[in-house]
Structures are given as C-alpha cells and as structure tokens.
Structure 1
Amino acid sequence: MPMVVASADVERRRAAVWMLLLAAVTFLVTFDQGALTTGQPLFHELFHDGRHLLGVPCH
C-alpha cells in the first residue's frame, strides 16, 4: 500500500484554513454582540452562556 505524503505547501494551506476558522469562531464567541445579525441577535443568543463560561463580559 503506497503512502501519500502531503507537501509542505498543502500543510501550510491547511494550517492557514484552520487558523482562519479558529479566528472566525473566536470573533463570533467573544466580540460579536449581534452586530452581524441585525434584527435577530442569533449569534449573541447562541453563544451567550459560552461567553460567561469563558469569562468574557457581554453586557
């Protein structure tokens, strides 16, 4: 069975995608106060308890 080895470029790209995803989730959980969802504070309500659990104030 041949072993496939990913090149360094593929690994860097994969790491960059994961870092961007992590940054987006961190923004949504900590800083978004419902500004992205005008009219319906969906993310604020979704992550409300998680913010308090992490010690991030949201009021």
Structure 2
Amino acid sequence: MTVTIAANAAPRPVPLPIPRPIPLAEIAPWAVFAALVAVILLYFVSTEQGAFALFKGMLVHEYVHDGRHLLGFPCH
C-alpha cells in the first residue's frame, strides 16, 4: 500500500475560538477602584495644601509641586 501526498497540499487552518466578552459585573469593581484612585490623585495634585489641606506642613505640596504645574494648576 502506497500513500501519495501532493506536493502543494497545505494544512487546513484551524479556526481560533472567538473570545467571549467580559461581563460588566467583572469590570465594574475595577472601574470603580480606578476612578477612586484617579480622584484621590487629582485631589492631591490640584488641591492639597493649596486652597485646602488635610495634612499639616508642606510635604505633600512639595512632593506634587512639579506635577501641579505640569497639569496647569496654580499653586503660588
């Protein structure tokens, strides 16, 4: 018994499975967390030890001073 294989026979492509969409219930907690972190960072860069302060001293102001100017917030 002889088996002949054509010289130009190409393997058939295997279809990739279509990924299922991520449910909103899985994304929502991470989206809320990211939004909360963004709001906290925005507070520290824009407001802390400028017009309003939660912490005494100038440590936070000096730490975010260049970022404040980069984002266009006045501080002095």
TM-score band w.r.t. shorter chain: 0.7 to 0.9
Q: Runs of 5+ in structure 1 lacking a partner? A: none
RMSD of Structure 2 on Structure 1 (CA): 2.0
Q: State the structure with bigger RCO (CA 8 A, min sep 6), 1 or 2.
A: 1
TM-score by length of 1: 0.75
Report the equivalent of 2:33.
Answer: 17
Aligned length: 55
Higher fraction of helix: 1
Distance across 1 between alignment mates of 2:64 and 2:45: 6
Given residue 64 of structure 2, which amino acid in structure 1 is its aligned partner?
Answer: F
Q: Percent identity of the aligned residues? A: 38
Distance across 2 between alignment mates of 1:6 and 1:55: 37
TM-score by length of 2: 0.61
Q: Runs of 5+ in structure 2 lacking a partner? A: 1-18
